[in-house]
A and B are shown apart, each in its own frame.
Chain A
């Protein structure tokens, strides 16, 4: 069933009513799993992602360990029901690639030297996909790493930019991704770029504007990530305060 290509930008508004430089709504909750050492549930638009971290822990298989530092492993996985046409369980070539670039987006921030011969495992599951899952995953994984108490130099913030109807737009949704002219996921940490991919066609000028847009949006995402971590702690403190009152 072929979908007709709609007009993506009408009167300065996109299909979902957003301006070209507007992010989809983001919802974040840190510490949502019991067994994992750290975890985060995150929504970006209709993307629903859960990320979890185990570690540092012993490496299995043992021959994968590194003498001077921890190994960082990342597994991007989509649930079969996360997409329009059910996806067969298990990794495919796309998830292997996304796992690799996502790992490399976070690895530079991890103080691996603190834990030689150990593993820091990051797992990410897409429960519902709507374009931008890898960047949403990186946002969640950053928080899961912090939640697990892993020493990291900073949080990593990520989003995608692209081009539709010859206009550079931020945070593509699914239809924009499918029918658009370019898709460029970007991750930023402490002013440096840790993930950059591009699929499609951009002039150099468009690329410059797209990158500026992404970096600016990542700053906004960073504030939300930071807020989520502080909120988690204040929830604990609040519980203690009310416990205090009960005890007196």
Chain B
């Protein structure tokens, strides 16, 4: 058993983090008054709470999250989608942004289509309901999508959107970020290509310092190469 004292250290499940059970935060558990890691991840102390941020793992859906889903099945009442979570999510026909007939659902969204949707409900049976019926939500019919680690999404967005806005501006691309680790990009072929490479770089280096400057440089270098 190891007692961790350094922040930003990688820990494994079962590592002893503290003897003060009131400090237990996300990614930890308490046993016999002591706090242990529940995850293989990075240990952090935030406002007195000990957290372990997982290095890997599925997206855990939460009501209100905006996600990018892929349609995998259609039945008479709506579309079943994969949202990179342990569960599928369902878009009911009446949550589409306009009226659709039950027998022409596939005309509006077919299998393989991507949507930017919002989670409106998760019931006790883990049935996740989506909606497209809000102004910013829609089907994504062009562009490319890339999947990154769910835990890096906040870094990709940046404080008040600083990182993603910088990317949109510098790369002249449309960028939509799903809480479920999926990022959609649209623009010219070259710009989208550089955008995707940049997003992957942010994913890989999210926990390091000086990232914003390095990303800025990376983009400049990428543009010069043309």
User: A residues within 8 Å of B by Cβ?
Assistant: 37-38, 55-58, 67, 70, 109, 111, 115-118, 146-155, 189-190, 225-226, 229-230, 233-234, 236, 239-240, 243-244, 247-248
Contacts and interface: CB of A to CB of B under 8 A. Distances in A.
Contact of A152 (B13, B204, B205): B13
Interface residues of B, number: 30
B10 A230 contact: yes
Interface in B43-71: 54-58
Interface in B9-29: 10, 12-14, 27, 29
A227 B102 CA distance: 56
A154 B10 CA distance: 15
B219 to A, nearest CB: 11
B217 interface: yes
The 5 tightest CB contacts between A and B, nearest first, are: A149-B57, A154-B14, A56-B86, A149-B56, A146-B40
Nearest to B149: A149
Contacts of A244: 205, 208, 214
B33 to A, nearest CB: 15
Contact of B208 (A190, A234, A240, A248): A240
Nearest to B9: A230
A55 B86 contact: yes
7 contacts: A37-B58, A58-B87, A118-B86, A150-B57, A153-B14, A233-B55, A240-B208
A99 B138 CA distance: 46
B218 interface: yes
Interface string B83-113: 0001110000000000000000000000000
Given A37-B58, A55-B86, A57-B58, 4 more contacts: A70-B86, A148-B56, A240-B208, A247-B214
Interface of B: 10, 12-14, 27, 29, 31, 36, 38-41, 54-58, 86-88, 125-126, 201, 204-205, 208, 214, 217-218, 221
A58 B14 contact: no
Given A154-B36, A190-B14, A115 B86 contact: yes
Q: Tell me if B's interface is mostly helix, strand, loop or mixed.
A: loop
B218 A146 contact: no
Contacts of A67: 125
Contacts of B40: 146-147, 149, 229
Contacts of B56: 37-38, 147-149
A233 B10 contact: yes
A221 B58 CA distance: 28
Contacts of B201: 243
Contacts of A226: 12
Contacts of B12: 146, 155, 225-226, 229-230
B217 A117 contact: no
B205 A153 contact: no
Given A233-B55, A240-B205, A244-B205, A151 B38 contact: yes
Nearest to B1: A190
A230 B125 CA distance: 37
B126 A153 contact: no
A118 B126 contact: yes
Contacts of B13: 109, 146, 151-155
B126 A152 contact: no
Contact of B126 (A117, A146, A154): A117
Given A111-B38, A244-B205, A56 B14 contact: no
A153 B38 contact: yes
Contacts of B87: 58, 117-118
A161 B133 CA distance: 63
A247 B88 contact: no
